[in-house]
Structure 1
């Protein structure tokens, strides 16, 4: 019987999702991670400004389907700013092409906020503050702390010093029920356990959320990775 596998679609300029997969999947020794890319670089080049190149995503999902993955995730955060209806349509198209369940990081995050009863959140985002605000407004809770790193070139986000993210997470946590590290190209995975212990609230790294969601859509119990954050302890 083939080993189970999950399929991740990521921006062409992203390095962090693969690092995050490499940090998580060793805790699931019987699960393979398969990756495909779509064009997305610079300041949002490669995709329509107001949506997605659905044909490109369908082809990436179709090719992942050839590997027999149990689920596919678009591990990118654009859907929060575009409007979650765009991600719902995208997930449906990917699922049809791959022949398995599909989701996105933004959809999974919105679902998590509801499931965890999060009414107020803080957000540390990759871009300038106006872009960060657009992303925050697309999620189903009130943002009470918001910081933007001011990075417009997507590729540059993976080089951010993790210490600077830690500082900003602390700053946006006041009055929040959870904090989001909002860009799948920011280095958040290794920061989560320490920050959750310090702050006493969930810290959701977006790249990790996408991988968690994909594992769950594939019917895989995520609790073996519970030491990486509260997210993975959810049954």
Structure 2
């Protein structure tokens, strides 16, 4: 006798054209869910170099991409470029992720659709708050001036950045090839004495998923990435149980509550 089929959810991903990691890590994470299944439907915004100019040009492609995602009738949308929004700061005193997520939701509402909408930027803020973290340390692939914009963004959201490292990689394709050993060694170099959480990869393009659990076990504090924060926020928004083993305590929230 077989059980009832698990509910299926379509996830729309809006990604930079040079990004290959989020379409690998997000399916790998959500495949661990035992109560639902997922498919992934992507649209791409052209971007090669992580610079303020290219990020603004990439964001200008949003409406076309959302129209394409709308054709797939998705249940949730992830605007999957953290720095593209954080680099824009807080126009009018509100984080760029808030305005972008609202604009995406409004555009889809015109088509009679109401999917869950989040962004990598908003998801990281949401996930850090969900862990109770007020002080975080960060590892980022960006050039230092861009990394400083990410630090300023998080601090404007009430999350103090106690230490951070920028790996100074401008080419987004190269970001997707950063070795895990380099990411782990960089995390080890941080001063974590005042941190409530470590963001091992503040970028959905820098690979980090295989490292999350091992680094969390080694360093003894919650370890998040842009990908795990995105998975957490998608599950939260869809009203699904947050229990994805092997990717840090953030993604075993409901398992821990039920223990």
TM-score by length of 1: 0.89
| 1:33 and 2:40 correspond | yes
Q: What are the residue-to-residue correspondences of 1:129-208 with 2, within 5 Å?
A: 129-139=144-154, 140-175=158-193, 176-180=195-199, 181-208=201-228
Structure 1 residues 127 and 160: CA distance shift in structure 2, 3 A:
same
Query: 1:52 is matched with which residue?
Result: 59
Q: 2:72 aligns with which of 64, 67, 71?
A: 67
- Match of 1:227, SS state, is coil
**What do you get for the CA RMSD once the two structures are aligned?**
2.1
Q: 2:136 aligns with which of 113, 118, 121?
A: 121
23-32 vs 154-163, greater mean Cα deviation? 23-32
Q: 2:82 aligns with which of 73, 77, 85?
A: 77
Structure 2 unaligned residues grouped into runs of 5+: 255-259
**How far apart, in 1, do the equivalents of 2:237 and 2:105 lie?**
11
| Cα deviation 1:130-159 (Å, max 9, x = unaligned) | 321220111121111111101011111011
Deviation at 1:185, TM superposition (A): 0.7
**How far apart, in 1, do the equivalents of 2:55 and 2:192 lie?**
35
| Cα deviation 1:11-68 (Å, max 9, x = unaligned) | 111011011023213223622122211122223465427x931xx3233223222222
TM superposition outliers: structure 1 runs of 4+ over 4 Å: none
Report how many aligned residue pairs link the two structures. Answer: 231
**How far apart, in 2, do the equivalents of 1:146 and 1:69 lie?**
36
| Cα deviation 1:156-193 (Å, max 9, x = unaligned) | 10111100100111222522111111111111111000
- Match of 2:87, SS state, is helix
Structure 1 unaligned residues grouped into runs of 5+: none
| 1:3 and 2:8 correspond | yes
**How far apart, in 2, do the equivalents of 1:59 and 1:220 lie?**
29
- Match of 2:229, SS state, is helix
**How far apart, in 2, do the equivalents of 1:219 and 1:7 lie?**
17
Larger-gyration structure (1/2): 2
**How far apart, in 2, do the equivalents of 1:173 and 1:69 lie?**
41
**How far apart, in 1, do the equivalents of 2:123 and 2:190 lie?**
21
Structure 1 residues 19 and 173: CA distance shift in structure 2, 3 A:
farther
Q: 2:245 aligns with which of 206, 226, 230?
A: 226
Structure 1 residues 102 and 83: CA distance shift in structure 2, 3 A:
same
**How far apart, in 2, do the equivalents of 1:101 and 1:26 lie?**
19
**How far apart, in 1, do the equivalents of 2:103 and 2:217 lie?**
39
**How far apart, in 2, do the equivalents of 1:132 and 1:117 lie?**
23
